[in-house]
């Protein structure tokens, strides 16, 4: 075994960082063959390891944690979009029943770290968006904590607010510098183009709305901090909390065993982690801080509203000669500057085109700062661009899918480098077949039900290579049961089950005898944030590497016990067989000799291969039915075909796509945070009037994968899948709507009011 420390790169959502990585030569394995007969478990649908526990309501989420002596926190939040605190009676709150600690904006130095932003104070006396935290209370009961907020009798000096994104742009109220990336000469190309189209598109404020709100329970023991946290990133949370309280990271333990979704909104320690820990420090008691539904919709985060102008130039035959996309993005107060870079990506990377200009600006408004939301930036910009491409198809009289094929790029259009694998054309072909694309025009013939039907498509591009580091431990006991310890926090995607499939396959043990644990930083087995479609490509190679080592060790012991060379032994489905088939025994014949000893092995994620650009691809096709009398748009079917490398577990992978499609459908049809321009305050930050889809809205969703291993993702060849499925859905639906009605949506979501206006 040779271990080295090497410099390697890790990629998250296109952001490449250099990291020192522990590399073990033994961790590099030949990739498995393509999914099929050679593999027992990988590639076959496997139910979730924690399905029964979750379904029975026995899973303990952060919101369920109750500790002895625990206090309950409440947060005083700004009721207005921009103001200065004039008076705040903290003493009245301190005197209220059951109150143990009150913290005003001047009472704490503790900061938290919003996604990809510098740390900022947890409380402010100058709230610049509705919902901004001003003060904290911890009391014996949640009711007492809330009552104490009222006792503070907050008085504010109102300041003028800006919530109109375009007005902010016109007044150049920008966050950071505007950005432009270009190649060729787009101006000349547009002027010379045989055909041009121009489209203006507006996309809505979209809220992550995780089933479990942001939540933390913090507890100090001397200078050691334990936080139960509903987070996508336990290790980021550990680091951020250690920095916030000036203690070393090993004195912070973060536990995130069950998490009710995040969708990008729960990266790192969050406001809730830092605020709960500060209240716990000051009170000397454990403190629970959980957003209520209104707080979650007000301050949980959002995908931001965009206003886009897209101009395309093409030849009459349909070759793109110019792509220009200008985007104005609502940044809000704070918000991550990095988003802008991603907003420019679809124009630059989706199609082969020599003349491209993508430009964008972030407008600083008095809204909650935008943060990461499942394929942030890409979903917004591609929703615009793919509608413009559809308009071009209509103008040219070319089939929209054919137009996309015509402009397919075999290489990365930005760098000219080849891809590690791109099967976009296969995605088009399969999606067309499953959707019945050939009968698309017949759909438009008026039916007896009076509905207008249409079909639309959109392409998807995104990253998803992941990278080091990730560390995994495998321990096999005398019963030949394997315990796989990881740094995974399973935010609901089923990644622990994916790890179980990988481990069972490599170990040659039955699934039932393999148990995967994660959700705790205490073992110090690092795993990356469950974001950026990172987990499968980053962690599964380490799971496989550790399992391979454990299997090799086990085979060596088997050689001793069975008096046969380990090289002549195979382990599969819990049985040891000699290559000549003379021997066939349960593996427990060997492991039972272990007694109280165990076999232990560890594996680390090595660097990605080099030579090609790793991206994910896909195509979705939507069929919609529009009721012209009611303005209702019903999605009848969505076909989603994605190319994300090897599929480890088709069952959880399909679930991921279904979830992404539904979230994308809602982005197209119903979800929109509405802000009152007069007050600057969101008017529907609740679950009753912010319309997430219900089970009654779910269309038929047909999911398929190209399922070919990516040679550059070590060991497993699986790219990430969390984000890709949401990316093309809204554009496909908008294009289907345009096909059905002949009207191009100017703004999403396509609410009844907007549809009736368009059809009038």
Q: Which residues bind ligand MOS (CB under 6 A)?
A: 13, 232, 264, 267, 372-374, 376, 531-532
User: Within 10 Å of residue 413's Cβ, how many Cβ atoms?
Assistant: 20
> In the 3-class helix/strand/coil scheme, how is 66-111 assigned residue by residue?
CCCCCEEEEEEECCCCCEEEEECCHHHHHHCCCEEEEECCCCCCCE
Q: Provide the β-strand partners of residue 747.
A: 202
Comparing C-alpha atoms, which of 275, 226, 271, 276 is closest to residue 247? Answer: 226
**Cα angle: 469, vertex 256, 545; to 5 degrees:** 30
Contact (Cβ atoms closer than 8 angstroms) between residue 413 and residue 345: no
**Residue 125 structure tokens:** 């006396």
What value, to the nearest 5°, has the Cα angle with vertex 173 and ends 172 and 174?
A: 90
197: enclosing H helix or E strand: strand 195-203
DSSP SS3 for 140: coil
Residue pair 233/116 in contact (Cβ under 8 Å)? The answer is no
The least distance separating ligand MOS from the CB of residue 588, rounded to whole angstroms, comes to 42
- What is the rounded CA–CA span in Å between residue 304 and residue 203? 8
State phi, psi for 345 to the nearest 5 degrees: -70, -45
First to last CA, the chain: 73
Neighbours of 165 (CB within 10 A): 27
Residue 284 and residue 152 in contact, taking contact as beta carbons nearer than 8 Å: no
Given a contact cutoff of 8 angstroms between Cβ atoms, the answer to whether 128 and 366 are in contact is: yes
Sorted by sequence, the CB contacts under 8 Å of residue 414 that are 6+ apart come out as: 183, 348, 349
Q: Collapse the DSSP code of 645 into the 3-class scheme (helix H, G, I; strand E, B; otherwise coil) and give the result.
A: strand
**CA-CA-CA-CA torsion for 401, 407, 410, 415, nearest 10 degrees?**
-130
Helix or strand holding residue 636 (H, E): strand 632-643
Cα 669 from Cα 178, distance rounded (Å): 30
715: alpha, beta or left? (left if phi > 0; alpha if psi -120 to 50): left
Q: In this structure, what DSSP letter does residue 393 have?
A: H
Q: Residue 64 CB: number of other CB atoms within 10 A?
A: 14
Q: How far is CA 622 from CA 75, 194, 386, 694, 729, in A?
A: 43, 30, 13, 18, 8
Q: 356 in helix, strand or coil?
A: strand
**H or E element at residue 139:** strand 133-139
Check if the beta carbon of residue 93 is closer than 8 Å to that of residue 153: no
């Amino acid at each position: 075994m040779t271990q080295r420390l090497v410099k390697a790169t890790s990629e998250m959502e296109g952001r490449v960082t250099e990291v020192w990585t522990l590399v073990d030569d033994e961790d590099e394995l030949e990739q498995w063959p393509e999914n099929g007969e050679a593999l027992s478990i990988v590639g076959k649908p496997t139910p979730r390891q924690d399905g029964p526990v979750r379904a029975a309501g026995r899973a303990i989420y952060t919101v369920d944690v109750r500790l002895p002596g625990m206090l309950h926190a409440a947060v005083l939040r700004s009721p207005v979009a921009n103001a200065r605190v004039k008076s705040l009676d903290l003493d009245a709150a301190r005197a209220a029943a059951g109150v143990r600690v009150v913290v005003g904006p001047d009472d704490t130095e503790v900061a938290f770290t919003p996604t990809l932003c510098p740390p900022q104070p947890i409380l402010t006396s100058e709230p610049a968006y509705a919902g901004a935290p001003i003060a904290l209370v911890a009391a014996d009961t949640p009711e007492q904590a809330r009552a104490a907020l009222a006792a503070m009798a907050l008085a504010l000096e109102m300041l003028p607010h800006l919530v109109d994104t375009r007005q902010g742009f016109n007044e150049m109220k920008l966050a950071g510098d505007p950005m432009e990336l270009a190649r060729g000469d787009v101006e000349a190309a547009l002027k010379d183009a045989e055909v041009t189209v121009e489209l203006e598109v507006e996309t809505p404020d979209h809220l992550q709305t995780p089933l479990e709100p942001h939540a933390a329970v913090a507890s100090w023991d001397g200078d050691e901090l334990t936080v139960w946290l509903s987070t996508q990133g336990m290790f980021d949370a550990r680091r951020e909390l250690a920095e916030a309280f000036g203690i070393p990271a090993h004195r912070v333990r973060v536990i995130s065993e069950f998490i009710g979704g995040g969708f990008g909104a729960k990266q790192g320690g969050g406001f809730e982690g830092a605020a709960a820990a500060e209240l716990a420090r000051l009170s000397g008691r454990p403190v629970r801080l959980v957003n209520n539904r209104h707080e979650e919709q007000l301050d949980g985060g959002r995908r931001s509203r965009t206003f886009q102008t897209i101009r395309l130039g093409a030849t009459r035959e349909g070759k793109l000669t110019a792509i220009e996309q200008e985007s104005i993005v609502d940044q809000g107060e704070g918000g991550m500057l990095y988003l802008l870079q991603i907003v420019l990506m679809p124009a630059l990377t989706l199609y082969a085109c020599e003349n491209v200009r993508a430009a964008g600006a972030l407008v600083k408004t008095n809204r909650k700062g935008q943060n990461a939301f499942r394929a942030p930036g890409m979903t917004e910009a591609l929703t615009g661009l793919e509608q413009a491409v559809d308009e071009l198809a209509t103008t040219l009289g070319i089939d929209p899918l054919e137009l996309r094929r015509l402009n397919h790029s075999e290489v990365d259009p930005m760098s000219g480098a080849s891809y590690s694998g791109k099967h976009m054309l296969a995605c088009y072909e399969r999606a067309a077949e499953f959707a019945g694309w050939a009968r698309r025009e017949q759909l438009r013939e008026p039916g007896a039900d009076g509905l207008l039907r249409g079909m639309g498509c959109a392409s998807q591009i995104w990253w998803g290579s992941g990278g080091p580091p990730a560390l995994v431990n495998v321990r096999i006991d005398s019963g030949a049961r394997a315990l796989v310890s990881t740094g995974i926090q399973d935010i609901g995607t089923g990644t622990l089950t994916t790890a179980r499939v990988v481990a069972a396959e490599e170990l040659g043990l039955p699934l039932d005898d393999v148990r995967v644990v994660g959700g705790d930083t205490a073992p110090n087995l690092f795993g990356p944030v469950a974001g950026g479609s990172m987990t499968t490509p980053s962690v599964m190679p380490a799971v496989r590497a550790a399992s391979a080592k454990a299997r090799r060790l086990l085979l060596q012991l088997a050689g001793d016990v069975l008096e046969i060379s380990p090289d002549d032994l195979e382990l599969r489905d819990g049985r040891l067989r000699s290559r000549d088939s003379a021997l066939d025994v349960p593996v427990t014949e060997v492991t039972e000799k272990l007694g109280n000893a165990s076999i232990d092995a560890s594996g680390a994620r090595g660097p990605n291969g080099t030579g090609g650009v790793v991206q994910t691809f896909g195509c979705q096709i939507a069929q919609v039915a529009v009721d012209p009398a009611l303005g209702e748009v019903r999605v009848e079917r969505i076909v989603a075909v994605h190319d994300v490398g090897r599929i480890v577990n088709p069952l959880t992978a399909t679930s991921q796509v279904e979830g992404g499609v539904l979230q994308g459908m809602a982005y197209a049809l119903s979800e929109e945070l509405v802000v009152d321009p007069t007050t600057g305050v969101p008017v529907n930050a609740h679950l009753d009037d912010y319309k997430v889809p219900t089970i009654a809205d779910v269309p038929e969703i047909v999911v398929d994968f190209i399922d070919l291993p990516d040679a550059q993702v070590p060991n497993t060849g699986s790219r990430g899948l969390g984000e890709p499925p949401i990316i093309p859905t809204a554009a496909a639906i908008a294009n289907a709507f345009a096909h059905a009605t002949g009207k191009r949506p100017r703004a999403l979501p396509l609410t009844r009011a907007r549809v009736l206006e368009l059809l009038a």
